[in-house]
Amino acid sequence: MPTARAALAVGVISGILYAVGGVNQRGFNSLNTVEAYDPSTDSWTTKASMPTARGDLGIGIADGKLYALGGQKNGARLAAVEAYDPATNSWSTKRSMPTPRVGVAVGVMDGRIFALGGYACCKSTHKFDAYDPATDTWTTKPSMPTNGEYMAVGVIKAGTRAVLYVAGGLDGPDYLKTLKAFNPR
């Protein structure tokens, strides 16, 4: 990868891996760097910079666009949402998340982007929100039963039924071994 960094996020669109944001000085010096890796040519390309430099962000892919959610910029929590369109190599600003969060878990199902948990204000949160890119609107969902940040998300679809799974993470100093399942339709 051309730029050394941690706390970045990645997403894949049409077989290209996009490495987005991150930090390069122990949580500070947030980056707006975007680099794309093409495995067919084993090469990296620098793309348009993200409008808001940040690390510890979440990424969701919907309708061929990459959505960057939340994160932190030099220690400050963000609610910013920005969309990258690889067809035009450009970013656009979208409606911000209802709550600024670091380490938000992101999953995409049925064209909607789900933001779960994260570190908000002064502690891990159980917030659960859904973003609809078609209308640029957020909907608050029933909260998760427990708090969590830096969780992993996977969507499993079987026929017409899809379930959003949230695994592990942190709640303050405690590491989690939980697995939560949501059908947020």
pLDDT tens figures, 72-96: 998 899 999 999 999 999 999 999 9
- 57 near 20, Cβ under 8 Å? yes
Rounded mean pLDDT of 145-150? Answer: 93
Residue 62: pLDDT band with limits 50, 70, 90: very high
The predicted pLDDT at position 66 comes to 98
Assess if residue 86 is contained within a domain. yes
Q: By residue range, what is the domain housing residue 167?
A: 9-182
Assess if residue 3 is contained within a domain. no
- Cα dist from 183 to 22, 37, 98, 105, whole Å: 31, 33, 21, 16
CATH code of residue 76: 2.120.10.80
Q: What is the model's pTM?
A: 0.95
pLDDT at 20 over 70: yes
135: left (phi over 0), alpha (psi -120 to 50) or beta: alpha
Total domains present in the chain: 1
